Amino acid sequence: MNGKKIIELRGITKSFDGELVLDNIDLDIYDNEFITLLGPSGCGKTTTLRIIAGFETPDAGDVFFDGKRINDVPPYKRHVNTVFQKYALFPHLNVYENIAFGLRIAKVPEREISARVKEMLALVNLRGFERRSVTTLSGGQQQRVAIARALINNPRVLLLDEPLGALDLKLRKDMQNELKNMQHKTGITFIYVTHDQEEALSMSDTVVVMNAGKIMQIGTPIDIYNEPMNAYVADFIGESNIIDGLMIADRCVAFAGHRFECVDTGFAPNESVDVVIRPEDVDVVPVERGMLTGHVTTVTFKGVHYEVIVDIAGFKWMIQTTDYVAPDAEIGIYIEPEAIHVMKKSEYSGMFGDYSSYSVELDLLSENIEEDEDSDDEEVTYKLKEEGL
């Protein structure tokens, strides 16, 4: 990063009605970075954002901005602006007045307001919408107004609370690019909250994976994907096969009844570990050349690849391959040393990464529910996955 910390959270703890939402969070946010708080509903990501904005005060811990403690600074005095999940545009004001709102409050001269609103409308591609009532705009347009209304104040930090949650898939992809570009152009630090791992990976400089009020891992998208810290992160970010393994020695791990060469070091000899293998990193080969052999149980065509569930010594793996494999076939699989990622055992070991419960219907179901972005249902799906239903 650029090295300069802009926001520091130290030991932030917060509970609502006796329920612990944030459990001793430490987080550094650097100037000019696009940082994403990623996690399922109820993991505390929005609460973290609201504490930075000043809408919630932590029960314990401190918030620092530019090295100064700002726990008691009210929202209107903070150099941050927020893009709200449901936009929260002022229905009594038109597009122009909504965007100008912050500058009006700051008593900026009318000529400057007019110039800056124009500039913002250009930035968010809404030229000519000045006099439109915000209630007549589409979701995507309202979202742009909300972003312009926040950015016009030149905040040091822009907080975005699942801003694309209510948009359809296509629009969401476009807006992801636009947001990334805006962040680049303005050089403002973006703190982005989402439950969509793909969105997090494609937009962020830094991803913070959260679960149950705790930070699981902080890192670049590549780190988070390739070097997940524990089974929870590995499972939440993309698909993964997580297998019980034994670290024989440095660069040598045993699992599924076979020893593999790997690139991981620094474990105790014969330490029991979790091994992560991404479905796309497994090569399908003829049985005689395979390091492991397995029995294909289901094959699903996904467009860019086939999703194959293979039973290898009683453990069901997911493999993504572009070559067709027949159901009920015996196949061999080959795994390169770089494709094997070894993790220390954690409280999440054994809860994720097994596809024995996998079925196409459930997969479709969970995808639909994620689209709905209904928090409770989502948690149910996670539970289903955990319980192996």
Contact footprint for other proteins (CB under 8 A):
53-55, 74-76, 80-82, 84-86, 88-94, 97, 101-102, 105-106, 133, 149-150, 153
* CB of 282 vs other proteins, minimal distance in Å: 46
* CB of 46 vs other proteins, minimal distance in Å: 12
Nearer to other proteins among residue 81 and residue 381 (C-beta): 81
- For residue 319, what are its two tokens? 């493999």
* CB of 158 vs other proteins, minimal distance in Å: 11
Nearer to other proteins among residue 75 and residue 269 (C-beta): 75
Nearer to other proteins among residue 48 and residue 82 (C-beta): 82
- For residue 372, what are its two tokens? 């709905």
Distance CA 288, CA 271 (A): 31
Nearer to other proteins among residue 83 and residue 229 (C-beta): 83
Nearer to other proteins among residue 57 and residue 265 (C-beta): 57
* CB of 30 vs other proteins, minimal distance in Å: 22
| DSSP count for the chain of H helices, then E strands | 10, 20
Please say whether the beta carbons of 177 and 185 come within 8 A.
no
* CB of 97 vs other proteins, minimal distance in Å: 6
* CB of 153 vs other proteins, minimal distance in Å: 7
Cβ partners under 8 Å of residue 108, min gap 6:
116
Distance CA 306, CA 321 (A): 5
Cα radius of gyration rounded to whole Å, the chain: 24
Nearer to other proteins among residue 86 and residue 251 (C-beta): 86
Nearer to other proteins among residue 100 and residue 339 (C-beta): 100
* CB of 83 vs other proteins, minimal distance in Å: 9
> What contacts 24+ positions apart, CB below 8 Å, involve 317-324?
317/241, 317/277, 317/279, 317/282, 317/355, 318/239, 318/241, 318/279, 318/355, 318/358, 319/279, 319/282, 319/284, 320/239, 320/279, 320/280, 320/282, 321/282, 321/283, 321/284, 323/284, 324/299
